[in-house]
Amino acid sequence: MKIFQHVSDIGDLGAALAEAQEVKRDRFQWQHLGRNKTALLIFFNNSLRTRLSTQKAAMNLGMNVIVLDVNQGAWKLETERGVIMDGDKSEHLLEAIPVMGSYCDIIGVRSFARFENRQDDYEERILQQFIRYSGRPVFFMESATVHPLQAFADLITIEEHKATARPKVVMTWAPHPKALPQAVPNSFAEWMLAADVDFVVTHPEGYELDPQFVAGARVEYDQMRAFEGADFVYAKNWSCPGVTRPADYGRVLDDYHTMMDWTVSARQMAVTNDAHFLHCLPVRRNMIVTDDIIEGPRSLVIPEAANREISAQVVLKRMLEAL
Ligand code: CP
């Protein structure tokens, strides 16, 4: 594997899930693969789970790991060509990327949506430059539009806890005080549509996700109806994807105080099939989900986060095998 961005990059999902379980059985059995190999993890944005789980996965494989927080100690980077660099940015990404590539064997990059220009975000301008100029395999650690390591971990968690062959999985929008990107819901939708689940998306009108990720999904604007009979509830906020009105891209469409009936609580969970609750974390309690649900016996948020180590290890293992 040279690029890890979309569900198609992982190939057959059944094989990937079986490999994840093999990793879980003994995560240290491939230490020889990473010997004298270096993973460089580059963060343009904050992280807890991705940072720790990916480092751990690389160490499980015997790799050396370098973590760079671009905004803490590195030169401030210009990303646009043609700019006269007389401001506060001392280095251009076009030099920085091949230099970074020269110090490692595999690169992971986190670079969120900037919300300045929908086209720039949806064309993945930053990550595409890493793919083009680093000379290394690149895996996405949450980009402007996707978070595949999270979606893979989510799928592993669903597979481990499902009680029926084809569970009903509902992804619900939930309120949040700030504008958040669409990367997590985009990837979750993409991966669920590729998996053998009954997938339903529910959100207020105006938050329609990009068809490249949700085409084929059932969209239900009535949250209570969507939750009926659900086996898994996946909560997430996202800002307006700008599909129907590009000018609204990245906006929070309504004052969140008026949207609090979308917060996942016992009221909605009562109509599910005793659903498990999932969230990628970090989560704002009593905005996205009430305390009792996230702390309750059906919450899977901690095993879900733990599976981030497993999804990252499968991806790194496959990249090492292809070097
Ligand atoms: N879920 C997730 O990616 O968490 P972090 O932002 O803490 O890495």
Q: CATH 3.40.50.1370 spans which residues of the chain?
A: 3-146+308-322, 148-304
Confidence at residue 73, expressed as pLDDT on a 0 to 100 scale: 86
* C-alpha 84 to ligand 1 mean position (Å): 35
Cβ of 255: how many Cβ atoms within 10 Å? 9
CATH numeric code, 148-304: 3.40.50.1370
Confidence at residue 152, expressed as pLDDT on a 0 to 100 scale: 99
Ligand 1 pocket, 52 CB below 6 A?
no
Q: Which of 62, 142, 159 is nearest to 108 (CA)?
A: 142
Ligand 1 pocket, 49 CB below 6 A?
yes
* C-alpha 163 to ligand 1 mean position (Å): 27
Ligand 1 pocket, 53 CB below 6 A?
no
- CA-proximal residue: ligand 1, atom 4 (nearest): 49
Ligand 1 pocket, 50 CB below 6 A?
yes
Q: What is the pLDDT of residues 128-147, one digit of tens each?
A: 999 999 999 999 999 999 99
Q: Could you identify the atom of ligand 1 that is nearest to the CA of residue 281?
A: 1
pLDDT < 50: residue spans in the chain: none
- CA-proximal residue: ligand 1, atom 1 (nearest): 280
Judged by DSSP in three states, 255 sits in: coil
Dist. CA 136–CA 3, nearest whole Å: 9
Ligand 1 pocket, 47 CB below 6 A?
yes
Q: Provide the β-strand partners of residue 139.
A: 4, 108
Architecture in CATH for domain 3-146+308-322? 3-Layer(aba) Sandwich (3.40)
Q: What is the pLDDT of residues 62-109, one digit of tens each?
A: 999 999 999 998 999 999 999 999 999 999 999 999 999 999 999 999
- Phi, psi of 305, rounded to the nearest 5 degrees: -65, -40
- CA-proximal residue: ligand 1, atom 6 (nearest): 47
Q: pTM value? A: 0.98
Map 15-68 to HEC letters: HHHHHHHHHHHCCCCCCCCCCCCEEEEEECCCCCHHHHHHHHHHHHCCCEEEEE
Ligand 1 pocket, 306 CB below 6 A?
no
Dist. CA 112–CA 278, nearest whole Å: 22
* C-alpha 280 to ligand 1 mean position (Å): 7
